[in-house]
Amino acid sequence: MKSSKSNSDAEQHTTESLHDLRVLRIGFLLLENFSLIALGTAVDPLRIANMLVERTVYEYELVGTSGDIVCSSDGIRVVPDKAMAEACDFDAVFVVGPNPIPRRGIGGILDWLRLQARQGIALGGLDTGSYFLARAGLLNGYRCTIHWEDQDVLLGQFPNLTVSNRLYEVDRDRYTCSGGVAPLDLMVHLLGLPPGTPSLAARVLELLVAERRRGEERQVTSLRQYFGNAHEKLNEVLQVMESNVEEPLSVEDIADFVGVSQRQVERWFRERLNRTPAQAYLEIRLLRARQLLYRTALPLEEVCARTGFTSLTHFSTRYKAKFNMSPIADRRRYQKAL
**pLDDT, average across residues 20-46:** 91
d(CA 228, CA 222): 9
- Nearest CA to 83 out of 31, 133, 138 is that of 31
- Containing 169, the helix (H) or strand (E) segment is strand 168-171
Q: Compute the distance between CA of residue 257 and CA of residue 21 in angstroms, rounded to an integer.
A: 52
Phi, psi of 222 (to 5 degrees): -65, -20
pLDDT of residue 9 exceeding 70: no
Identify the three-state secondary structure at position 263. helix
What pLDDT does residue 220 have?
62
Both 139 and 89 in a single domain? yes
Residue at a domain's end among 181, 207, 233 = 207
Question: Does 241 fall in a domain?
Answer: yes
The whole-number average pLDDT for the span 39-68 is 94
Lowest average pLDDT, out of 103-117, 148-162, 280-294, goes to 148-162
DSSP 140-163: TTSEEE--GGGHHHHHHH-TTSEE
Domain-located, residue 178: yes
Q: What is the mean pLDDT of residues 128-148?
A: 94
pLDDT of residue 151 exceeding 90: no
Tens digit of each residue's pLDDT (9 = 90 or more) over 243-253: 899 999 999 99
Q: Specify the CATH number for the domain of residue 316.
A: 1.10.10.60
pLDDT at 338 over 70: no
**Spatial distance between the Cα atoms of 251 and 255, rounded to a whole number of angstroms:** 6
| Distance (Å, whole) CA 214 – CA 201 | 12
In order of 15, 290, 315, the CA distances from 298 in angstroms are 54, 11, 15
Q: Report the largest interatomic distance among the alpha carbons of the chain, rounded to a whole angstrom.
A: 71
Whether residue 68 lies inside any domain: the answer is yes
Q: 186 and 310 share a domain? A: no
Whole-number pLDDT of residue 229: 52
DSSP 8-state symbol, 128: T
CA distance 221 to 225: 7
245: containing domain? 223-337
According to the model, what pLDDT value does residue 14 have?
42
Domain contains 153: yes
For residues 86-109, average pLDDT? 90
Q: Among residues 333, 321, 253, which one has the least CA distance to residue 282?
A: 321
* The domain boundary residue, chosen from 164, 181, 207: 207
pLDDT higher than 50, residue 1: no
Q: CB count, 10 Å around CB of 96?
A: 27
Provide CB contacts within 8 A for 161, sequence distance 6+.
134, 139, 140, 144, 154, 155
| 175 and 33 belong to one structural domain | yes
Which pLDDT belongs to residue 21? Answer: 59
How many whole angstroms separate alpha carbon 284 and alpha carbon 226? Answer: 9
7: confidence class by pLDDT, cuts 50, 70, 90:
very low
Q: What is the value of pTM for the model shown?
A: 0.72
Give the pLDDT confidence score for residue 224 in this predicted structure: 55
- Interatomic CA distance for residues 250 and 260, integer angstroms: 14
> pLDDT tens, 59-77?
999 999 998 999 999 899 9
Quick one: 164 and 270 in the same domain? Answer: no
- Asked if residue 292 lies in contact with residue 298, where contact means CB atoms within 8 angstroms, the answer is yes
Q: So what's the pLDDT on residue 6?
A: 39
**Shared domain check, 239 and 185:** no
How many Cβ atoms from other residues are within 10 Å of residue 25's Cβ? 15
